[in-house]
Amino acid sequence: MERVDHLGHERRKAEFDVEAMKVVWAGSKRVLEISDRISRLVASDPVFKKDDRTTLSRKDLFNNTLRKAAHAWKRINELRLTEEEASRLRFYVDQPSYVDLHWGMFVPAIKGQGTEEQHKKWLPLAYKMQIIGCYAQTELGHGSNVQGLETTATYDPKSEEFIIHSPTLTASKWWPGGLGKVSTHAVVYARLLTDGRDYGVHGFIVQLRSLDDHLPLPGITVGDIGTKFGNGAYNSMDNGVLRFDHVRIPRDQMLMRVSQVTKEGKYLQSDVPRQLVYGTMVYVRQTIVADASNALSRAVCIAVRYSAVRRQFGSQDGGPELQVIDYKTQQSRLFPLLASAYAFRFVGEWLKWLYTDVTQRLQANDFSTLPEAHACTAGLKSLTTSVTADGIEECRKLCGGHGYLCSSGLPELFAVYVPTCTYEGDNVVLLLQVARFLVKTVSQLASGKEPVGTTAYYRRVEHLVQCACDVQRAEDWLKPSVVLEAFEARAIRMAITCAKNLSKAQSPEEGFAALSADLVEAAVAHCQLIIVSKFIDKVQEDIEGQGVKEQLQILCSVYALSLLHKHLGDFLSTSCITPKQGALANDMLRSLYAQVRPNAVALVDAFNYTDHYLGSVLGQYDGNVYPNLYEAAWKEPLNDTVVPDGYDEYIRPVLKQKFRISRL
């Protein structure tokens, strides 16, 4: 079938250097080159074919995943890929599997919480995948409340072993990816009991399965927890259940970087500060924010390309119907998501820097920025994942009825992504942690303690609680200083109001319970400010490429003003702006959508995604939507036969009315 570039005319409208924007999106020319090469390597390999994924049974899907993971590991070794290249290859294979938790949680946990001796013993095995690990923290009865975990690790000084045990049904480990059928080992979190005391939750390396025949070791009950939401999607992952019946492990398999148990059973803190374990948490959450950018940009790419191809209504005198992307209602829903994808990309880049900075400070015993970094990463994980999950669903709606087809790629993308809102911290719980930090920061202002990092704007509290927004015309909303001050004033005023209301409560905990909804909104305001400020910082960098800086400025303004529009009530109720200034912001936003319109397709082209990675008949580069949809329909297994298998047994009797008439 002839292939035509139906989006060529859209690409010719671009007012900027698309290749230069690809570099900005990737982060550097080197990273762009690696991503481009690896993505095309994956797309050209028939083993990584994925267009049948949503039609496979759970067992077939899982076996398909095992095959792809094994083939990926084979190619990584054959091509002698670097760690960065290998990570990119796993990313572009685009299928959740046990390797995600092995590399993303098991290895970082040992690196962050293990001693040098433990590194030497376990990491070479993990790096060569001679053992396969997972991260067993969440239990059937507890997830976000880590301190409430019930699994126990009781030390026996006679044998110099820990006894790992699940004392209740709710102590069963539940949800760890890779656990159900694959992992040979796990970092297990359990309550440390020794010398007659409970020392709280600690990590232990526990072997689960034999390295000879893969059978569970004595005392271990392990399996898959069942099918999850969506066709294909996260069902390629073997999320598992795990119970221990007095399983013994050697003493040196407790992760002992920050604390240890002596042979005699004495609990000791090491010279390494306990705060170092937070470095791993910061690392994991910054990768989650980066993943949010990837998932949202993917959905937006599909929706933008399809919206530019699809025509509906508006024809006059027999002329062509209007492109859906030209409807203002479509733009007002789609372009803020496009801007958000870029915003999350840049705040994700900044979080990589933050992780490096925090790690260096921790190693130098400087813990001054740790509480702020912890709150910041918790809040950004919550905000970006919630927006992305909702954004993917919005993109599905923006694609109309065709977006509901699995072949559009959007239903599976949503089903794969939505658990991110829960794992590594429930999003509402994380926002409440941010709110606690903000209220504490407010309370410390009187003591003279200087706020740091993303709360540095609290130093200007006197100005921000009484300043008036300096907007006279719609164009004033394009000034970064005006936008920043409005977002800072809103965030700090909401936090101060929460702190004042909390001070009136009979107890802090009662106050937090009663005001939890307000506290969540204050945390969201602070996190949105962080993203806006980092987007502004990015725009102010020296950026190469004709028109690239101008397009980023437009997207930055769209992101900020769309948030202002959505949360207008907050800005008005805190007196940060006037109703007239809010109306001017909306006027500016509408004019910005018109500026995004001619560049929309080129802006998603800058993501540089292959058709294989997008996995969407609606979002392919050539825009050949209708032939793609038609071809995809005939790949449906139901169409393998013209007459359905149940015709003789179920359909023919109905058509021929061959039923016995019985009297009740």
Active site residue ranges: 424
DSSP 281: H
Neighbouring C-beta atoms of residue 178, cutoff 10 Å? 28
| Upper half-sphere CA count for residue 510 (Cβ side, 13 Å) | 5
How many angstroms separate the CA atoms of 252 and 254, rounded? 5
Q: CA–CA distance from 219 to each of 60, 164, 176, 189, 294 (Å)?
A: 30, 9, 19, 17, 41
How many angstroms separate the CA atoms of 655 and 560, rounded? 61
Q: At residue 542, what is the residue type?
A: D
Neighbouring C-beta atoms of residue 481, cutoff 10 Å? 9
Q: Among residues 623, 34, 554, 30, which one has the least CA distance to residue 310? A: 623
How many angstroms separate the CA atoms of 619 and 399, rounded? 10
- Give the burial class of 59: count Cβ atoms within 10 A of its Cβ; 0-12 exposed, 13-18 middle, 19 or more buried: exposed
- Give the burial class of 38: count Cβ atoms within 10 A of its Cβ; 0-12 exposed, 13-18 middle, 19 or more buried: buried
Both tokens assigned to 266:
């004495």
359-372: burial string, b at 16+ Cβ within 10 Å, e else? bebbeeeeeebbbb
Q: Mapping DSSP to helix (H, G, I), strand (E, B) and coil, where does residue 222 land?
A: strand
Going by their DSSP bridges, the two strands 197-207 and 133-136 should be labelled as: unpaired
How many angstroms separate the CA atoms of 88 and 81, rounded? 10
DSSP 242: E
Q: At residue 319, what is the residue type?
A: G
- Give the burial class of 142: count Cβ atoms within 10 A of its Cβ; 0-12 exposed, 13-18 middle, 19 or more buried: middle
Going by their DSSP bridges, the two strands 133-136 and 152-156 should be labelled as: unpaired
How many angstroms separate the CA atoms of 430 and 433, rounded? 5
Both tokens assigned to 427:
């999003």
Size of the chain in residues: 664
